[in-house]
Amino acid sequence: MIIYNKKFISQFILMGTVISLELFEDKPDAVEAVYHYLQKAEKEFSANDNCSELMRINRSAGKQPVTVNSNLFSVIKQAVEFSKEYRTSFNIALGPLVKLWRIGFADQRVPLQSEIKSALQLIDIDSVELDESRHQVYLMNYGMELDLGAIAKGYFADQIIVLLKYFGINNGIINLGGNTVTFGVNQVVSSHLWKVGIQSPWQYRGTMVGEVQCRACSAVTSGIGERNFQYKGRLYHHIIDPQTGYPLENDLAQVTIFSSSSLYGEVLSTVALFSGIDNGLLLINQIPNVSGVFISKTGRIRTTSGINFKAIA
Ligand code: AMP
Ligand code: MG
């Protein structure tokens, strides 16, 4: 068995976050390809860039169907199916509400009740029409907007692994800020297992509350501490409840989902967060080959069964 003692770490800033790749071999062309892939993907999937492919769909809402490339179509198709399955939590037609709150941007604010009421009329996932044969997406009502913020990074992470493998890189760890994916085996330790840190939901503390040892897997975290603001003593965060139009309120602060697909992990981390700690654990325990670490608002940590989690005191 060979134990490598070298890691090659690359970091760059894209999509408003630090992207890092830790590989066991020096392959600058592969790192360059990942950078270019992400730059291009961001331009297609962003709801904040008026020139993106996604915004082309949004601008044509209530007017006409838009033909998009097969990657974007496939992600939207999967996301629409998940939004129909998990109607009361995960919804990619939430764009009008996300744009009202603008959480994480300089102009974030608490919208008027009347604005929220109007936006709630425009988030019906059944009004998203897909034409598989033409790769067309049609938002049936004027003012509707898709937002892939909850799922895009998971899709990108899955694609980056495919890209790295194409370059002959079969082991490593990538981090897209909130999405960590380990692939192959950890060549610097004899157990060959990976360690994924679970960060405190309140990131300004910058502390790890625990770590999970795992084989190749994706770890996706959704939480209310990531992007938020305080107004009149209340915390408003970036995960919006499609039933109320306001940020989700329950006993959970953060959920990390371990799964093989990062895209699926994205969906489940949102859905589990909405479920609350008890129902969330029940839900994730029922799904084969998926596990999770849940942190309540009071700081209590609970995990699904069969996960190798160690708390850091
Ligand atoms: P994440 O960081 O993966 O938890 O995704 C959060 C982002 O997803 C937000 O910034 C919004 O763009 C979007 N979003 C917010 N609430 C929801 C929701 N209930 N369903 C789907 N997407 C959402
Ligand atoms: Mg997500």
Condensed to tens digits (0 to 9), the pLDDT of residues 56-96 reads: 999 999 999 999 999 999 999 999 999 999 999 999 999 99
Question: How far away, in angstroms, is 30 Cα from ligand 2 center?
Answer: 26
Q: In this predicted structure, what is the pLDDT of residue 1?
A: 45
Q: In this predicted structure, what is the pLDDT of residue 177?
A: 85
Nearest ligand 1 atom to the CA of 226 is: 2
Backbone angles phi, psi at 173, to 5 degrees: -140, 135
181 touches 218 (CB < 8 A): yes
120 touches 246 (CB < 8 A): no
Q: In this predicted structure, what is the pLDDT of residue 2?
A: 53
Contact 257 CB / ligand 1 (< 6 Å): no
Q: What is the DSSP letter of 239?
A: -
Query: Length of the chain, please?
Result: 313
pTM of the model as a whole: 0.96
C-alpha angle with apex 251: 241 to 240, nearest 5 degrees? 15
Question: How far away, in angstroms, is 268 Cα from ligand 2 center?
Answer: 8
106-131: pLDDT as tens digits: 999 999 999 999 999 999 999 999 99
Beta strands per DSSP E along 97-193: 128-131, 136-139, 172-175, 179-183
Q: Which domains does the chain have, with CATH numbers?
A: 2-35+158-311 (3.10.520.10), 58-139 (1.10.3980.10)
Q: In this predicted structure, what is the pLDDT of residue 206?
A: 64
| Mean pLDDT for all residues in the chain | 95
277 touches 285 (CB < 8 A): no
- Is the Cα torsion angle 198, 41, 122, 127 positive or negative in sign? negative
Question: How far away, in angstroms, is 255 Cα from ligand 2 center?
Answer: 10
Terminal alpha carbon distance of the chain: 33
Q: Which helix (H) or strand (E) holds 77?
A: helix 70-85
266-303: pLDDT as tens digits: 999 999 999 999 999 999 999 999 999 999 999 999 99
